[in-house]
């Protein structure tokens, strides 16, 4: 069989790929069985999900987890919001070992949430969309020992020990869900994704102990240059600020004596202490927070304090009322065009057009005609209208906005009888002139109604023009005219995500894999031995033997020594070693 495959390398590679894909799908299926929430994730979002590879965590990784969790829990018992410690217990986050994604999903499922692993930072809109589906994204890597106090990149401590416990509070979980629904619809600018990639690159470099100072400095300079040339902030950039100052770095309660609830603080030993010190300015949380930018790789100079979780939703609603999602209109259409990404506009009839918007005709200060470029779908209430997928509108879509000239009643509310009175008969040639001057003339072949409203009028042999500009010619095929006198909503992304062929997301850079030396692996084996003793008490002789080995071979490995010290605190037969180990530990600092 091996000789056979030597002559068929393509088949062999295909089989290897098939086996790998099958293993990944089996892992995903296990998680889905553990938590039904994951089954609801749209197919498009699944491209961001990666395997945890729990077996790749080293003994030292588990020691880092224990050290951070011990330190944080001791401090946060007094300084975190009351729901945090209760949430640690409720979500089953262990102090002794890194949680597996499968274990987390069994427990999170009981409170109506789920978790998946991703590779570091994902685009903000996608992060929020996962949140809208009640799914936490977990960066499965864990910080290096040199960044135990503070990490510039997301890691499993930040996600699992920071985000997960606090969502056990129902009021806060509702805020996260609301934020996900609103934030995922915020319109970005063309520069936002470029900045995201630059920030992702910097976080990857800072998390890699082998990155050079020059590499990090160049990445920081690139971000600074981008930030100086972003132009007017987009909806996405502003709501991302609100997310940062609440979900990631929020304080709650009294301005003079606040508690911690933001995941970035809950998972950082250094920042959780600095956050409450006088040197970090405390500001009452309001909509003004949207104007405060942030640097993800540095401690924060100021933090915002909300009086309670209810206030978070009030500020979010205040922000959403200013978004194109709620205001629509010409400003919303222009934001969609400026984004250069797939967006959706909704007419007053409820019909939704999803695509990349390329142009708008403005007449007397009003938007009167819109165009998309490329694949487009027509939807109603976030569901595809039959026959109006991207295969039908593969080259783009154009449609007017407005009322029939001389008719007080909006087109959407006209009955068939009223249409006939206006000379609009199914199967007959008709001419429709809108108040804006847009003229549609052709044979009406169909009207599409939903909930007693006309959403769409379809014509053949149709000519559409505005003044002397031809907008649609008879030779182009069937003309589908979206109906509505105004645009009531504009938001980012397609109306129904699984019915739009969104491009695959391929980050320009993956999180760096750290290659360990033989010496590292030998050290990790010592950590592994200690790991087992947190679950099965060591014999005195065995403990002494390992301590002598550490004392001689790893006298400056402070975390290893600290692990041995912790064992003396929980095993009464080892207390005689405590003083000696403490003395050695003090010499490593």
Contacts of 421 (CB under 8 A, 6+ apart): none
339 pLDDT more than 90: yes
540 pLDDT more than 70: yes
Q: What is the mean pLDDT of residues 298-318?
A: 94
How does residue 389 score in pLDDT terms, banded at 50, 70 and 90?
very high
Quick one: 414 and 299 in the same domain? no
d(CA 429, CA 92): 69
Domain for residue 253, yes or no?
yes
> DSSP states of 515-533 as a string?
PPPHHHHHHHHHHHHHHHH
Quick one: 51 and 103 in the same domain? yes
232 pLDDT more than 70: yes
Quick one: 116 and 76 in the same domain? yes
**Which helix H or strand E contains 284, and what residues bound it?**
strand 281-284
Residue 273's domain comprises 240-320
Quick one: 226 and 177 in the same domain? yes
40: CATH: 1.10.800.10
Domain boundary among 168, 200, 232: 232
d(CA 242, CA 302): 13
- B/e letters for 499-508, b = 16+ CB within 10 Å, e = fewer, are bbbbeeeebe
d(CA 239, CA 492): 13
Quick one: 358 and 478 in the same domain? yes
Quick one: 340 and 468 in the same domain? yes
Quick one: 99 and 212 in the same domain? yes
43: helix, strand or coil? helix
Angle at 352 between CA 444 and CA 434, to 5 degrees: 45
Domain boundary among 232, 252, 278: 232
Q: Which residue has the tokens 């829990």?
A: 73
Q: What is the pLDDT of residues 64-91, one digit of tens each?
A: 999 999 988 889 999 999 999 888 877 7
pLDDT at 12: 38
Q: What is the pLDDT of residues 243-301, one digit of tens each?
A: 999 999 999 999 999 999 999 899 888 888 899 999 999 999 999 999 998 877 677 89
Quick one: 194 and 214 in the same domain? yes
Quick one: 345 and 464 in the same domain? yes
Domain boundary among 320, 354, 389: 320
Number of separate domains in the chain: 4
Q: pTM of the prediction?
A: 0.86
């Amino acid at each position: 069989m091996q000789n056979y495959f030597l002559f068929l390398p393509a088949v062999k590679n295909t089989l290897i790929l098939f086996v790998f894909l099958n293993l990944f799908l089996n892992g995903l299926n296990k998680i889905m069985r553990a938590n039904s929430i994951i089954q609801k994730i749209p197919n498009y979002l699944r491209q961001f999900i990666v395997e945890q590879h729990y077996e790749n965590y080293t003994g030292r990784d588990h020691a880092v987890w224990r050290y951070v969790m011990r330190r944080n829990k001791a401090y946060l018992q007094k300084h975190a919001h009351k729901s945090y410690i209760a949430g640690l217990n409720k979500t089953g986050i262990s102090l002794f070992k890194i949680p597996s994604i499968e274990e987390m999903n069994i427990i999170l499922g009981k409170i109506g949430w789920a978790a998946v692993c991703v590779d570091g930072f994902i685009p903000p809109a996608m992060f929020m969309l996962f949140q809208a589906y009640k799914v936490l994204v977990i960066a499965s890597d864990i910080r290096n020992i040199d960044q135990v106090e503070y990490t510039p990149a997301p890691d499993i401590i930040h996600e699992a020990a920071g985000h997960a416990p606090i969502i056990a509070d129902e009021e806060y979980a509702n805020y996260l869900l609301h934020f996900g629904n609103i934030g995922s619809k915020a319109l970005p600018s063309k520069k936002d994704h470029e900045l995201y990639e630059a920030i992702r690159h910097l976080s990857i470099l800072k998390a890699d102990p082998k990155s050079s100072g020059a590499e990090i400095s160049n990445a920081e300079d690139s971000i600074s240059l981008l930030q100086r040339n972003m132009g007017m902030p987009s909806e996405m950039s502003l709501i991302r600020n609100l997310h940062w100052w609440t979900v990631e770095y929020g304080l709650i309660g009294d301005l003079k004596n606040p508690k911690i609830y933001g995941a970035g603080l809950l998972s950082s030993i250094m920042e959780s202490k600095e956050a409450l010190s006088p040197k970090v300015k405390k500001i009452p949380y309001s909509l003004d927070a949207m104007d405060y930018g942030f640097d993800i790789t540095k401690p924060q100079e100021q933090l915002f304090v909300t009086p309670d979780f209810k206030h978070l939703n009030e500020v979010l609603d205040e922000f959403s009322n200013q978004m194109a999602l709620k205001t629509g209109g010409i400003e919303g259409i222009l934001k969609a065009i400026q984004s250069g990404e797939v967006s959706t506009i909704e007419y007053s009839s409820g019909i939704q057009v999803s695509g990349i918007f390329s142009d708008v005709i403005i007449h007397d200060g009003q938007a009167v005609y819109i165009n998309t470029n490329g694949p487009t779908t027509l939807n109603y209430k976030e569901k595809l209208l039959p026959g109006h997928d991207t295969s039908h509108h593969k080259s783009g879509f154009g449609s007017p906005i407005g009322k029939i000239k001389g008719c007080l009643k909006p087109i959407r509310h006209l009955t068939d009888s009223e249409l006939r009175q206006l000379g609009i008969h199914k199967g007959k040639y008709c001419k429709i002139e809108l108040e804006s001057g847009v003229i549609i003339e052709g044979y009406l072949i169909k009207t599409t109604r939903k909930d007693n409203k006309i959403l769409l009028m379809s014509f053949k042999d149709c000519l559409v023009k505005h003044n002397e500009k031809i907008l649609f010619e008879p030779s182009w095929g069937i003309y589908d005219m979206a109906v509505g006198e105004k645009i009531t909503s504009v938001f980012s992304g397609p109306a129904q995500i699984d019915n739009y062929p969104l491009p695959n997301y391929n980050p320009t850079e993956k999180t760096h894999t750290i290659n360990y030396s033989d010496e590292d692996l030998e050290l990790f084996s010592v950590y592994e031995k200690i790991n087992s003793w947190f679950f099965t008490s060591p014999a005195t002789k065995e403990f002494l033997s390992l301590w002598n080995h550490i004392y001689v071979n790893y006298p400056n490995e402070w975390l290893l020594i600290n692990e041995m010290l912790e064992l003396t605190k929980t095993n009464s037969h080892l207390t005689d070693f405590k003083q000696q180990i403490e003395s050695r530990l003090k010499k490593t600092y």
